[in-house]
Structure 1
Amino acid sequence: MPALFRHVVALLACLTLTSLVQAELKPTPAKNIEAAAVVKHYAELVYAVYSDAESSARQLQMQIDDFLAAPSQAGLIAAQQAWKTARIPYQQSEVFRFGNPVIDDWEYQLNSWPLDEGLIDYVADDYFAALGNIGGDLNVIANPSINLGGEILDASIINSDLLRSLHELGGSAANVATGYHAIEFLLWGQDLHGHKLGAGERPHTDYSLGSQCSNGNCDRRAAYLHTAASILVEDLSYMVKQWAPNQAKNYRKELLSLNSQIVLARMFNGMGSLSLGELGGERIKVSLEANSTEDEHDCFSDNTHWSHYYNGLGIENVYLGRYKRLDGQLLTGPALSDLVRQANPEVDAKTRKTLSATMASLKVLSDTAEASERPVKFDMLIAEGNDQGEAILSAILNALVTQTRAIEAAASAINIDPTATGL
Structure 2
Amino acid sequence: MENLNLTKKSILLPYLIVFTGFLVFGFSENVRGPAIPRIQSEFAIDELQVGILLALNSFGYLLACSFTGVLTTKLGIKLTCLLAFGSIAISGVFIYFSNSYFTFSFSYFYMYIGNGMLEIGLAILAARIFTKNTGFMMNLSHFFYGLGSTVAPLLATGLMGWHVYGGGELGWRGMYVVILSLAIIPMIPTIVAKLPGNSISAEDRMPLKVYVRDPIAWLIVGILSLGVTAELSMGGWLVNFLEKSYDWSSTASASMLSVFFFCFMLSRLILGFITDKIGFLISLIIFSGVAGFSVIAAIVIGPSAVFLFALAGVGIAPIYPTVMALIAKRYPNGSDTAITFTVTMMGIVVVVANFLVGAIIDLFRHWFTNFSGEEIGLIRGYQAGFIFIGLCAIFCSLISVILYRRLQKVNQIL
> Which has more helix, going by share of residues?
2
TM class, shorter-length: 0.3 to 0.5
How high is the TM-score relative to the length of structure 1? 0.36
For the pair shown, which has the larger CA radius of gyration, 1 or 2?
1
